[in-house]
Structure 1
Amino acid sequence: MVNSSETTGKRPMPPWLHKRLPASGDIESTRRLLADLHLNTVCQSARCPNQGECFAHRTATFMILGNTCTRNCRFCAVEHGRPGTVDQDEPRRVAEAARRLGLRHVVVTSVTRDDLPDGGAGHFAATIRALREALPGAYIEVLTPDFRGSRDALTIVARAKPDIFNHNVETVPRLYPEVRPQADYCRSLEVLKEMKELDASIYTKSGLMVGLGETREEVLAVMADLRAVQCDILTIGQYLRPSPQHLEIKEFVTPETFAWYAEKGKEQGFLYVASEPYVRSSYHAAAFSEQVAGVKL
């Protein structure tokens, strides 16, 4: 079972969050492959509770541009500080790992690199190109930082033609000073809006954590804001505290509420909504490409 002391602090884990750990399956072989290719994953760096399940099914979300973030969001377990130099061979190794794992839907994210002139956009583009070469039929999804709102950076990513461009708003605007003090809600919406303007054929996606003290009305308002910038895909999941040093959980949102959010999201016009307690940005990400985009994986 998932270790509740790591994810909830003093709050007891409700029964719907009891998650059975998978049989070993391919967990160790997936870890060895990633280690052999010297690759980071958000699964490991962010202490994702779905890591065992995903690794057992030989899938992972690659995290490029190092494992040290220039920002310090209070919900996130990824290390923060001064990042190292950009590894120019990393795109090739990501593509090699995806090929060896047999991935047909590849998700690539990164730490935030405010120290780089383009925020790492060129490295995202290089990774997309490497994946296209190694896996011509794969569906490629990128989950990027906000690039400080740079349209030039977004243009670099758009020209590389990912199938899905994901940028998470993470929480409701009222909670940004506490949850994402170095980010800006309006800027995140603008990033999604500009990507759609740059290339309308690229699906856009965003995600929310709940259980941080937001209200239902605030979540619905965020949904409306996302649809106003033509966001296509929405993910909603329960915030789980990575360690006692991170933000406390204010509420365990019930499965019924998640189902209600999913219904409301569909009513607002999202092409696809994933709303369940253990949903994360890239958890079962291929479901969209299979169900909506019609891609055979």
Structure 2
Amino acid sequence: MATENRIEPRQVGSTGLAVFPLALGCMGMSGMYGLADDNESIATIHAGLDQGITLLDTGDFYGTGHNEMLIGRALKDRRDKALLSVKFGALRSPDGGWIGIDTRPSSVKNFATYSLTRLGVDHIDIYRPARLDPQVPIEDTIGAIAELVTAGYVRYIGLSEVGVDTIRRAHAVHPISDLQIEYSLISRSPETEIFSVLEELGIGVTAYGVLSRGLLSGSNPATQGDFRAYLPRFSSENLAQNQRLVEELKQFAANKGVLPSQLAIAWVLAKSKNIVPVIGARKRSQLDESLAAVHVNLSPEV
């Protein structure tokens, strides 16, 4: 296994948008993985930008707006260093519950207006519905975002967690920059059908969950406020089997002289130049650990 020093940017699909090979996912900075410290979160964003990261990923429903306001604070004096990817459409209740999805054209523009205000910016670089709204044709949703592109409020249109038919229909309305989808060593379903269609259409991938929500790095759900406690992969009947797999990964990583998390990220990076892994670091120490993965060059055999 060799290392490389020069970090080549990656293209987000065929849009011409070039980004650092890793994106910083900010969801965990707003309570989704338990309590987080705003000052450390902002310091982590700053450290990421200072070390070359260009793409920040958020959702207007993360912390019911807290995440966007946090990023807005972090970017107050460095907007020119960051590209912003924003998901919208998920609906929240005052008690923190999830109550549906809304991607009607009027809602698209309403959500974008609030995001621009919370982020303190005049445009969003990639705007995407968080999930498919079964009540709204995808053509209507993408058409509304396309109007925001024409008006200068959005630069590119992305998708999140949708299938092949929806991808094709959306792309027929307006070029899609990338699909955001979970992909890791142990979550490989996109390989079956989706990746080939994305390659055909010139659509990139921003892959979240590359550490399987922390499973591959040995992180366990916190006792309070951590949504991962409800994920099947962390349930008692599944966790024992998954931990056996993680132990194998640890052994393999040790033989290569890297951490399991770095090997898992490097694996995703090596699978395709069209994939930009989204790392969910909440602390500078986590960020540094993940960033080291870009220097790990895995051969096809490995």
Question: What is the TM-score normalised by the length of structure 1?
Answer: 0.49
Question: What is the TM-score normalised by the length of structure 2?
Answer: 0.49
Higher fraction of strand = 2
Q: Which one has more relative contact order, counting CA pairs under 8 Å at least 6 apart? A: 2
